[in-house]
Amino acid sequence: MAMKKFFLFFLLFSLKAVATIRFDFEQDLEGWESAGGKVLLEKSSSYAASGRSSLCLSVNQANDGWAYVRLPEGLGQADSLILHLFLPEDAPLPVTVICYIKDKTWDWFETEPVTIRRGEERTLYLDISDESLDWQPVGHLKTWDGYVRQSAKELGLRFFFSEPATQNIYLDAVETIPREEKKLCLYNFSCPEKVNQYQLFEVTFDLPFTFSNPFDPEVVDIQAVFTLPSGEKKTIPAFFYQDYLRFSSLSGEKLYPYGNSEWHVRFTPEKPGTYSFIITVNYQGKETNFSAGSFTVLPSEKPGFIRWDKNDPYWLAFEDGKFFYPVGHTLRSPDDARSPYTYEFVVERERGTYAYDVYFPRMKDAGENFIRMWMSAWWAGLEWNPSYAAHFGGLGRYSLENAWRLDRVLEAAEANGIYILLTLINHGQFSINPDAEWWDNPYNILNGGFLTNPDEFFTDERAHHFFKKRLRYIVSRWSYSPQIVFWEMWNEVDLTGYYDSFKVRYWHQKLIPYLKSIDPYQHLVTTHICRRNVDPLVWILPEVETIVGNAYAADVVTSMREYYLTRKPYNKPMMINEFGVGRNRLALENNLHAGIWTSALSPMFGVALFWWWPFIDHFHLYFHYRALANYLQGEDWRGKNLQLATAKFQPQPGQGLVKVDVTGMQNKEAAYLWVYDTRYFNTASPREKVEPVPPINIMIECLLPGKYQVEFWDTYNGKIISTATFTVQQDSFLLPVPSFERDLAIKFIRIKP
């Protein structure tokens, strides 16, 4: 060990001629400051290691002291840090010194303590190379590596005395030595030998280089090229990764970096067989290929990715051909500070990924299978202003903390059979009203960006260039997942800036094809518009695969039917991504109930997504979805040419006033209807007292003659109330409906001869 230390000392000493002096204190304090007020810092002509000046650190009757300097440019590509310390002969006590470094997220790393005796000149040679073991984490579990060094934000010294002391310590000639030239290679390489079909195949490895920006493919472009059993090749970009550990505290979820940063490749094999792959690294104009071997993919029962059905593209299906019908609600983020009325409860905040560990099993038990989630600054967003949160890095540098959160959500989603519409940009990021976040946006020139107003994002080529890089990272990290059904480019794009339809169309026509070109699994792509009749010119874009929007209204049944009818001429699959209004608990819950039944029994490819998820969870309203899922079980809407039903309530002579209406969908051989009491549903002021509706008749039109089986369903417990068989002799039929309370659902299906 002594020989090893001597050799290291000799090596560093021999390289001192090429060292860079970072601080020599010839002019002033050069940014060094005292922390805690126990140390007085002064420029001094005593004990200078180089030049004529040093930094004098004076303590007065103190047990300890602390001095530091901020490092705007980090420590670059240096391998060694040298500090010269002097303790005068007349010092009353020896001093123990610890050197520390804080990285960009203010995680603390420190050296072992060193004791300096009276009259001693001590030169500290500190290893800050990628593989250094000199720096121990404090308060976290991140491992020192080149990216910690490169992103270092603060360098400091802590001094400790055995008893209160008054004395001076001198610091001078803080130097760094550049790194040695290294050969490109892969190390710490790991991947499985076998995986199942549609199971994640993940590769991890390290490189002996610290790149100036590991997120930028123009700096370093690392890709895996897979050769499939068919001989076809598929290219997957690698991505930069940092692991985290999560803890639940009284103030919410806390994430702590764990281990060192590394590179990952995520690949999902779609066919059984033998695969091989290589890793290509493009760096400084040179491409280097590394053969990575082969692996075996075994057959599995997993259904694969979700696509538009090949034979009926208005509906969704898995790759194995099974029908997929989204039933779910919004889970934009773990919580929502807003509410449609003043809740009777306090929304639990800051639960982070732990919230989804609660939400997803409850949804699964209720038969739900779908959510909508945002990549927002406060949740899973990648690129934002570092003044907003330390884990952000500004333009082109992504939040590894938020990325880890999305990883964790996808793992929980897979475990519970939940599929996701992932919103890439929420409107507030480029909005000045409402929900304005433009003032924190890293594209804003006020925050070091280059855009003077949010509308420029849609047309500025530099903005497109940066966003394409973000899309590449998103694809490299998450496109592997069959749990992601849609990339939703925007939430409420019509609420951004000053909304220029031409600019918005231009952006989508340029960015969606790029996203499709780099997505190896060809996820579906859409974009979301808020206002009811905005913007048909965006709806018709061939790049936008479906029409999605909002239906916030007290008369939610009417609103959803109008939503469908106004968009039907554009001949695209459609869905409602947001709804939910109510001025009290009863009104909001009835709006939820009416919205999911109206949308489910309309020719839209999924159930409308209710917005107020904390409301659902607090009052355990999942039973509404359980009942709907029971009704839908076994149904496959593909190939049936279902249309909005024309069925209507037919008053009976002498029946009196009955406030009933009906909605649903049908074809010539089946009708799926929801019959409801308008005193409770489709109104802003639902009645509280529940009274039964007497037996009524529903007229169903455009039917083929024959025998029909009818089922009457309780929409609250998800069970069949009664069944009957009827014979239809003409193209319309007057269906007798038994007495019910509030509402019921109907299946009226022709019995095949």
pLDDT at 19 (0 to 100): 86
pLDDT at 506 (0 to 100): 98
Average pLDDT score over residue span 622-626: 98
Q: How far apart are CA 174 and CA 126, in angstroms?
A: 11
Question: 95 forms bridges with which residues in the sheet?
Answer: 116
Name 55's Cβ contacts closer than 8 Å, sequence gap at least 6. Answer: 23, 25, 29, 32, 41, 42, 43, 44, 67, 170, 171, 172
Point out the least confidently predicted range of 10-24, 169-183, 270-284, 684-698. Answer: 10-24
Q: pLDDT-derived band of residue 573, with 50, 70 and 90 as boundaries?
A: very high
Whose tokens are 């002097």? That residue is 86
Q: pLDDT-derived band of residue 656, with 50, 70 and 90 as boundaries?
A: confident
198-232: pLDDT as tens digits? 999 999 999 999 999 999 999 999 999 999 999 99
Average pLDDT score over residue span 641-650: 96
Instruction: Give the chain's mean pLDDT.
Output: 95
CATH topology agreement for domains 187-298 and 643-750: yes
Q: How far apart are CA 732 and CA 644, in angstroms?
A: 16
Beta strand pairing call for 54-70 and 33-34: antiparallel
The DSSP code sequence of 77-106 is: TEEEEEEEEE--TT-SS-EEEEEEEE-TT-
Beta strand pairing call for 95-102 and 154-178: antiparallel
Q: How distant, in Å, are the alpha carbons of 227, 266, 464 from that of 233?
A: 5, 15, 28
79-130: pLDDT as tens digits? 999 999 999 999 999 999 999 999 999 999 999 999 999 999 999 999 999 9
Q: How far apart are CA 612 and CA 583, in angstroms?
A: 13
At 541 the three-state DSSP class reads coil
Q: How far apart are CA 69 and CA 158, in angstroms?
A: 12
390-400: pLDDT as tens digits? 999 999 999 99
286-331: pLDDT as tens digits? 999 999 999 999 999 999 999 999 999 999 999 999 999 999 999 9
CATH, domain range 187-298:
2.60.40.10
Does pLDDT of 11 surpass 70?
no
Percent of the chain with pLDDT over 70: 98
C-beta separation of 704 from 750 below 8 A = yes
Q: pLDDT-derived band of residue 36, with 50, 70 and 90 as boundaries?
A: confident
User: Looking at per-residue confidence, does 250 or 227 come out higher?
Assistant: 227
pLDDT at 8 (0 to 100): 39
Q: How far apart are CA 16 and CA 723, in angstroms?
A: 91
Average pLDDT score over residue span 635-663: 93
pLDDT at 377 (0 to 100): 96
pLDDT at 18 (0 to 100): 78
pLDDT at 657 (0 to 100): 83
pLDDT at 701 (0 to 100): 97
Does pLDDT of 689 surpass 70?
yes
Point out the least confidently predicted range of 35-49, 306-320, 671-685, 692-706. Answer: 35-49
157-173: pLDDT as tens digits? 999 999 999 999 999 99
Evaluate the CA torsion angle 513, 519, 522, 523 in order and state its sign.
negative
Question: 167 forms bridges with which residues in the sheet?
Answer: 59
Domain boundaries, given as residue ranges, for the chain: 2-178, 187-298, 328-340+351-632, 643-750
Does pLDDT of 13 surpass 70?
no
Question: 713 forms bridges with which residues in the sheet?
Answer: 720, 745
C-beta separation of 303 from 320 below 8 A = yes
- Alpha helix locations (H) across 315-352? none
658-669: pLDDT as tens digits? 899 999 999 999
Number of Cβ within a 10 Å radius of residue 461: 8
Q: pTM for this one? A: 0.94
Point out the least confidently predicted range of 15-19, 344-348, 419-423, 492-496. Answer: 15-19
Q: How far apart are CA 432 and CA 441, in angstroms?
A: 11
- Alpha helix locations (H) across 200-317? none
What kind of architecture, by CATH, is found in domain 2-178? Sandwich (2.60)
Q: DSSP state, 40?
A: E
pLDDT at 14 (0 to 100): 44
Compute φ and ψ for 398, nearest 5 degrees.
-105, 155
User: Which CATH fold would you assign to the domain 643-750?
Assistant: Immunoglobulin-like (2.60.40)
Q: pLDDT-derived band of residue 54, with 50, 70 and 90 as boundaries?
A: very high
Does pLDDT of 651 surpass 80?
yes
At 641 the three-state DSSP class reads coil
Does pLDDT of 6 surpass 60?
no
Percent of the chain with pLDDT over 90: 93
Name 178's Cβ contacts closer than 8 Å, sequence gap at least 6. Answer: 18, 20, 77, 78, 79
First-residue to last-residue Cα distance in the chain:
90
Q: pLDDT-derived band of residue 9, with 50, 70 and 90 as boundaries?
A: very low
Whose tokens are 């960006």? That residue is 449
Q: pLDDT-derived band of residue 734, with 50, 70 and 90 as boundaries?
A: very high
Point out the least confidently predicted range of 1-5, 394-398, 404-408, 502-506. Answer: 1-5
Q: pLDDT-derived band of residue 532, with 50, 70 and 90 as boundaries?
A: confident
pLDDT at 753 (0 to 100): 82
What kind of architecture, by CATH, is found in domain 328-340+351-632? Alpha-Beta Barrel (3.20)
Q: What angle do CA 488, 490, 495 make, to 5 degrees?
A: 150
